Each structure stands twice: as structure tokens, then as C-alpha cells.
Amino acid sequence: MKNRHAFCLLLCLVHLCHYGFAQWHGGKQVKSYSYKEFTVTVRDLKQCDGQDNVCVLHNRDCNCMLSPRTDLFLNISCQYLVYKKMFGCKWIYLNDVRTETIHSFILSQTTEIIHCPSMFSSAGEFNLTIKTKDPVNKMETCSEVYPVSIGKITQAPQPTITSVRVGKSSLNVTWTTKWFTKTCKIHLKQSTMEQLIEVSVKNENENGDEFFHVIDGLQAFSQYNLTIACKAYGLWSEWSGEFQRMTLEDAPTVSPKVSYCVESLDKILETQKVLLLWKALEKNEARGVILGYEVTYTSITHPSPERINTTDLKAELVVAAGDYNISLRAFTSAGPSPPRHVPISTVFCESLPRVKGLWAISNADSLNIQWEMDQRAASETEFAIELISSGDASSKQWKRVNGSAFSTVLKGSIKQLETYNIRVYPLSGGLCGPPESIQASLESGTLLEIVQLQRLNMTKTSVTVQWVWQKKVSSTNVLQYRVTLVGGPETRSIVIFPHQWQHSFHKLQAYVKYSVYIYAETAAGHFSKEHIEFTTPLLENDEVVKAALPVILLIIGFAILSILSRTIYKDYFFPNIANPGHSLIGHWLLNPLHERAAVVSVLKLEDFSVTNHLTEKCLIQTEDQKSLEQEEFDEHMTLSDMSKTYPDIDPVENSDGLENSLTRSPALTEYVDLPSIPDNFDYVGNDHIPDN
């Protein structure tokens, strides 16, 4: 406990020493300073008893027996308000202790003062002594003598602006003063600018108290704040009260800058859409409220102008293919602007590509819009953003963004529970590109989500997946979507936007299982929207064909070779032997009916040779009455066997006919076309076959 008390005592001593050092520096106490101000009314001053050259407020201040302190009263300045008949001074007072003090003035001259207010004439001069009394310490202090010249410290009364008449580029200002002034100055400031304009005015009417001045060269339809100060001699008066006026409207000085692009609508009818886009005029160019725009377009081949009036910053024209002259003018209540002429050819025209990757991220009360642009189209100087509320088309907003920026923040009148259509146009000089658009809201951001993820095609080293964008159903604020490939030794991921609907992954491994995920990223993290799995094939289809084709060709070649070799081998080593059983004539000759008739009719084939007197043909029809039985005739029966079976047939004589009959196809017709035989042609011999 004693140690704790000792520590507290030591701490108090340290603080006391620190305070003493702060108050004393080099053995001297550090003085504090304060700004003092004291004002008296001239009629309240009176002469001291027995001192005709001294004027004071109270008789107790007539004598200041103390030696003056030059180190306590610094930067003394005085002024005389001639209209109010008041005299006041300001100074810096240095004191050891910050306490309230009582001040008074002692005015003295070297000559006798008849009347104290007479000292404040325009030529009056006197000496001033400031007397200060500390009511706590009962100490008085006097300053050194300060010379005063009324002509130098007299301040003119504050002027009053009575009226300001406005024109298109001028202000006619009228003001009054309650005292004679020689000169005045007007401070003029445009409300949208920091620059201050000062106009000096000399008083030419010495006997009047009303003044006026016309300020020219101002901007039309601009608000100005003005105030006035005046002086006769000595000090400037206080500034008058601030006055605000707006100049009148005027016709615009310039016409809007126009960009255009051409899109084909109908190739059969050859109609095309011309999109015109222009920038709103600056305030100093518009010189008023733009009431609308007039678009006039005239065909070169049919010079009859057509006009469109709009309040928007764009216009769409449906025209036929050809050359046109288009002019644009802006209107205010004061008149139109000069026309802007734009020649357009819808046959030979250029256009800029669309922006890519358009996406909107919602914040508390704004939408952060971002997009991408093709590197080949790096000449864009501007982007135009159009914001339209789905519920209120009249609340359309336009914004221009520099071409080096690919994002912007849309603020202003964006409301909760509202859906907005956002369009972004690329601009470059006189050309523009078709817009890319999305829908967004403060609650959900971009109103798009991904569904139906599926595999489009696959090889052993690559895969292509595709998906579908649709209007968002949930209210989740998605910052971006990402497609991720998982499998093998690595994981790949890429951010996707609404202009993309498929993606290919290359350099995959063969016969490996992979998974593809669609992740939706939010401020709190990410979650999976879609998921598919697949396994890459071991071989490609063309590789399978390349491997199987030689085998198939080898098999086909071997089959062809086998068939050919079998046919050639049979023809050369096992020739066919004629079988008379397959011949129609052989069937007729071997018919058993001839055997029962016991008469054999023999045809002499040499008599059937074609002669010159044979000019006609006849048709011989043969009819089989009985076919050979299987057991009686065998197609493999030799001639010797046949002679044994049919002893009446000469095997040598009928060998040719028998062979022909045996080799003939049984499917042939039984009608044989033979030469006709004359009536006197004796070639048939009838022989009796004896019975055995």
C-alpha cells in the first residue's frame, strides 16, 4: 500500500513539473493572446474636466498614469462608420492570464477640442490610447499612442441593390447609397463556376444617391450572384446583400454531334434501319432548355424531305437502300440551333462491333455497369449508356463515358423494386455500333442466370460445353458467373458473360473423368448452379477407323484371293464333265416311252446344217411324258453305265447331244427354235429293235 502511495505522489510531481515547464520557458511565463474589439458612438464622447484636448467615455479614464505597454497591444486598426457615426478599433491583446477585460478609449489632440464629435470630420486627426482594466486583479494597462486620421479610416455606408433587369447576355443593375460615394465595385459570380468577375463603376452623378450599370458579355440562361461595395474616401463599405438573377434563354449556338450506324432489316425488300445517336449540348452551348430535336432526311434520288421530331437523344429511321442527306437541329424557346448535316450511304457503310461482357452489379442506391471491347476496335472515343425504367419510359437517362473506361456507376433517380433496361453503344467519330442490352435492378443486379449445362462434343484431349441464359427467377445478387473444369492434375476456371453460350477446354488427358461446374459468385461467397460429369475416350473415332481399316481390307483381299484361287484351281485341276441328264434333248432321247415303242427314230444331225434353200423356221414342241427316275438315272453316270442301262443308245454317237442335254439348265424353256424341214427331206430311218 505504501509503495502505491509513493508512486501516486511521484506521478503528481511529474505532472506538476511538466505544467510548470509548459508555463515557463527560459524563466519567462508564456503569454496568451486574444482578439479584442471595441466600438463607441461619437456622441457619447465628452471632454475631461480641466483638459480641453482630451475626450473620453468616462471621467475616470481621463488620466492614464501608467507607462504604456508596447508588447501587449499589437496590430491596432480602426475605422469610422460615417453613416452610423461610430468609431471602433480591433487589436491583439497579450495577457498572462486569460480573463475578461474592460476597455476604453482616450482621444487627445495637441490643440483644444471645442466639441468631441467635431474631431471626426473628414480632415480630423487625433491620438488614440487604449486603456484596459483587469477586474480580477484590479490592474490597468495603457497602450502606446496610436495616431488616427479620419480621412483614411472613414468607411462608406453599405449600398443596397434595388433592381436587376435581365437580358439574354446582360444584367442591368440599379443600387442606392445613403451617402456620397465616388466609386463602386460589383462582384459577379456564375453559380456553376468558381471564377469571380469584378466590375468597377465610377459615380458620374455627384448629387444623386441612385446608380445603375449594365454588365454585358454574359452567358444566356445562366444564374449569376452579384454584390456591390462603394467608397468615397478612406475605406470600402461593407458588401451589399447578395442578389441572384438568371439571364434569358437564347437559341443554341451549335448543333449536336451525330453518330450513326446502318443495320439490314429485310433483304428481300431491301429495307434498312439507320440508327442516329447524338450528344446533349453543354449548358453554355444550349443557352436554354432544349425542348426537342428535329431530324430531316432526304433521299438523293427522291428529294422530298421527311421530318421526325423527338425529345430523345436518338432516332431510328427505316429507309430503302440508297444515299441520304440527314440534318439535325435542337430547339429552345428562343429558336433552333444551326443544322448539323450528315451524308449517309446505306449501301456502303461501316459500323462498330457491339460491346461484350455487359454486366450490372447493384449497390445500395446505384448500379455499377461494366463491359468489354474487342481489341481490334480500340479506336472508340466514347460510350453512350442509356438507362430506361420498365415501368416509366419517360424517366430515361443518358450518360457518356470516355473510351478508355469500360465501367461506370449509374446514380440519380434509381429506385427500389424497379427493373431497368441498360443499353451500351460504342461511338467513334461519326460512327456508332448497335447496342448491347441487359436488364438489372437494385435488388438482384443483372436479371440473368445460367441453366441447361450440357456437353456439346468431346474428344480425348478436348471438350466443348454449352449453356442457356434465361431471365433470373431468384433475387440473389450475382456478381459474376464462372465455368470451372475439375479433373486430372489441374483445375481451370474462366468468367463468362451473356454474349458467351459455350466454351471449349483443350489439352485434356485421355480416359480421365472430368467435372464441369457453373459457379455463381456473390458478396458472401459462391455456389454451384449447374454440374455435369464425363470421361474422355481412350481413342478418337478417326484413330479407330485408321486402326480397323487395314484389317478389314486385309480380310476382304484374303476372301477375294481365296475365291479366285479356288475357281482357277478347279478349272485347271478338276474340270467339269458334261452330264447328258441336264440336257432337254438328252431327256427326250432317254425317255423310256421310246423304249416301249420298240422303234427308235434317229435324227441325223448333219442333215440339220443350214442351207440356202432354208428360209423359214418352224417351232418344234417336245413334251415330256415321263421323267427319268432317280434310281434309273444319275447325273454322275458315265457313258458306259448309260449303255448298260440303255443298251439301245449308242454312246459314241449321242455323246455330244447327251453332254449338251446334261449341261443345260432345267430352267430353260422347252420350246426350241429349229430350222424348218422340207416335206421331201428323207433323213429318218425306222429300224426294228429286236426283242431280246
pLDDT tens readout for residues 176-220: 888 778 889 999 999 888 888 899 998 776 666 788 899 999 999
Task: Give the closest residue to 40 by CA, choosing from 93, 96, 103, 92.
Answer: 103
In 3D space, the residue among 43, 63, 166, 167 whose CA is nearest the CA of residue 115 turns out to be 43
Question: C-alpha cell of 85?
Answer: 457615426
Closest to 503 in 3D by CA, of 493, 489, 514: 493
Sequence-separated (6 or more) residues with CB below 8 Å from residue 402: 381, 382, 383
CA distances from 170 to 214, 622, 649 (A): 7, 136, 149
pLDDT value, residue 2: 43
Task: Determine the Cα–Cα distance for residues 408 and 380; give it in Å rounded to an integer.
Answer: 16
Query: Closest Cα to residue 33, out of 75, 67, 89?
Result: 75
Strand partners, 423: 386, 437
Q: Any bridge partners for residue 600, and if so which?
A: 687
Q: What integer pLDDT is reported at residue 97 of this predicted model?
A: 59
CB atoms within 10 A of CB 483: 23
Which of these, 600, 603, 599, 593, lies nearest to 627 by C-alpha position? 593
Tell me which residues of the chain have a pLDDT lower than 70. 1-31, 65-66, 96-99, 205-208, 269, 375-380, 569, 573-574, 580-581, 589-692
Question: Distance (Å, rounded) from C-alpha 448 to C-alpha 476?
Answer: 10
Report pTM: 0.62
Query: So what's the pLDDT on residue 55?
Result: 92
Q: Which of 448, 384, 379 is nearest to 410 (CA)?
A: 384
How many helices (H) and strands (E) in the chain? 8, 47
Grid cell, residue 340, equals: 448539323
Burial class (CB in 10 A: 0-12, 13-18, 19+), 107: buried
Residue 386: per-residue pLDDT: 95
Residue identified by cell 454317237 is 653
d(CA 692, CA 686): 18
Cell triple for 418: 424497379
**3-state SS class at 472:** coil
Q: Give the model confidence (pLDDT) of 56-75 as tens digits.
A: 988 888 877 667 777 788 88
pLDDT of res. 613: 47
What's the length of the chain? 692
**What pLDDT shows up at residue 180?**
78
**DSSP-derived 3-state class of residue 337:** coil
